[in-house]
Amino acid sequence: MVCTGNICRSPMADVILRHLLADAGIDDVEVSSSGMGGWHVGEGADRRTVSTLARHGYDGASHIASQFDPRDFDRYDLVLAADRGHQRALHRAARTDADRAKVRLLREFDPAAVAAGTLEVDDPWYGVTADFERCLREVEAACRGLIETLQALDHADGTADRPAADRTDATKDES
């Protein structure tokens, strides 16, 4: 999950996806988040992000901001950008076509967002509580869609009925 400074959108997505994956019993997906810039490295998530998450039953208090490193492409199968600006920056940071192919917009996994043509998660940083609430709804819908996609892929390759510990690395999907 990648946004600008890793204190609003991407930590929200990180926390929500981890929570939803656990609820779905999916334990073979590694999730992390980072920012394109390093301004907030080492800081916690924005207090408004943490409080919005808490109001919805998520715990974002332990988040520590980090900066995206192009070597992260070696570690992850999927790199999700909050908006098109991040998507372009990630494409520039990619060293290979294979790395560029890993970059997607988070909201591509929300069918309603795709139908409406609203694939970016707007930055709530300069906004008010309602903007953080909107951000959470958008991120949550996209994360639910991502889980449905992972489950469909899992069923398609025949691993759905096997315990996660029995699955090979070839079936491991990482965000």
Q: Which residues are catalytic?
A: 3, 9, 123
**Cβ pair 9, 134 in contact under 8 A:** no
If phi over 0 gives left and psi between -120 and 50 gives alpha, with beta otherwise, what is residue 9? alpha
DSSP 71: T
Residue recorded with tokens 């300069």: 126
Can you tell me the distance from the alpha carbon of 154 to that of 160, in angstroms, rounded to the nearest whole number?
5
The CA–CA distances, whole Å, from 122 to 26, 86, 90, 131, 175 equal 28, 12, 17, 8, 20
